[in-house]
């Protein structure tokens, strides 16, 4: 039932009424942490393609989804905590992606 509210026009109304780009970026990050990067991006792209959402407010949400996916990778790298060497490598790789995504959004 709760997913029905977020389907179609409900999701469009919810995502289109975000007051500014920074708030939209945070919504993208949180949605990705709760769902999954591909899910958040697909929902936004589908809403834009269906004409339910404008392109301009969708861009910061997708940027936030990119940041959220890199944060998810950082959390996943913690699964290597049993082996110090693997943890160090996994965390370093996740940090590189975090920095890349943050710098991309900053530009």
Q: How confident is the model at residue 63 (pLDDT cuts 50, 70, 90)?
A: confident
* Model confidence, pTM: 0.68
Pick from 41, 95, 40: nearest CA to 70 = 95
Q: CB count, 10 Å around CB of 34? A: 10
Q: How much is the pLDDT for 105?
A: 82
pLDDT of residue 39: 77
Percent of the chain with pLDDT over 70: 81
Measured distance CA(66)–CA(22) in Å, rounded: 14
- Tens digit of pLDDT for each residue in 11-36? 666 666 677 888 888 888 777 777 76
pLDDT in tens, 77-94: 888 878 889 889 988 988
For tokens 């995502």, the residue is 15
């Amino acid at each position: 039932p709760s997913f029905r509210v977020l389907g179609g026009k409900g999701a469009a109304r919810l995502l289109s009424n975000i007051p500014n780009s920074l708030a939209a970026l945070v919504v993208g990050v949180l949605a990705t942490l709760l769902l999954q990067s591909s899910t958040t991006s697909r929902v936004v792209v589908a809403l834009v393609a269906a004409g339910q959402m404008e392109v301009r407010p969708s861009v910061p949400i997708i940027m936030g989804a990119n940041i959220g996916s890199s944060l998810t990778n950082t959390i996943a790298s913690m699964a290597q905590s049993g082996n110090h060497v693997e943890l160090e490598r996994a965390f370093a790789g996740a940090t590189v992606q975090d920095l890349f995504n943050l710098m991309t959004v900053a530009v």
